[in-house]
Structure 1
């Protein structure tokens, strides 16, 4: 036997050694400590300033709540509510309309429909918004002219006479009819008892 043959490793032993090395590698892999996955963090949703006070996000309204806080005492507050128009820089007029509600010093807003002109109010610029008869508000300023409280145009509580003429008299249906034809009385068909005259004896006066 020569030296070359003595150093040759049988094929079956090579396979066995390879298998053992594979098992050791797998055992080492599974015995390593696997770090716990980091808990998932929910994305932080930051509420916008406008949403926080009840308004939709609108670039034209940015800063409006802060400005309102400066001018709020000039508003026509009634039962904790005030209505106003807000200046639209693009259209150069008061194009946005809001109602503010104040509770415990905190103010929230909501959009309201565009007010209507009042007929017969004596002013061509008088406006009205009616959510109910107790919260009628008017303004006596042209919507295209800057008010003293710019960029706000505050509505004031409606005068009583305007309220009655605009929304009607709630007692109208309870009035007594004044049609004279319905109040006629035929006295000819009614018996009339006349008192009998009282006759006194005539006594001549002696001179």
Structure 2
């Protein structure tokens, strides 16, 4: 690792390496040595920028949570276009084909990581909770346009979609569910809430 590299560059390099290890080998394989080996740098580099490995993991998880913000903005901007089910299926696919599914067992696997995350994230599982907020915001936007029923409980529909999506994607190895399966699940969950587009 050359000297003089900006801290942000080192952090991103380590976070990207952690994501690759997590997705490829699972949470039990995510060690400081595995991350630095994957990043192609000395083990001491990680410890120069983070207090310990759990501090690194907490920052990694929160960094991946922050990446949902652009997806959330794009999803809300899609309100009134396409179909509600299609927009939701695309959004869920983007969330669950990212590192989201792998982060859930990582958080469950490490007690100290959960404790660190509670300092910044008081409730829920990071990434999945943020994704549920994104879905609820989108459904509220569609509600305002009349494409989702005014009395629909978006606060319940959103986590229901996240939970059902997680079940579709969890523990599938390298084969994600087909797009049709995701769309079918979304259509079933929102069937009672969606209205035909207004003319």
Q: Structure 1 length as normaliser, TM-score? A: 0.26
Q: Which has the larger radius of gyration?
A: 1
Greater share of helix residues, 1 or 2?
2
Greater share of strand residues, 1 or 2?
1
Q: Structure 2 length as normaliser, TM-score? A: 0.27
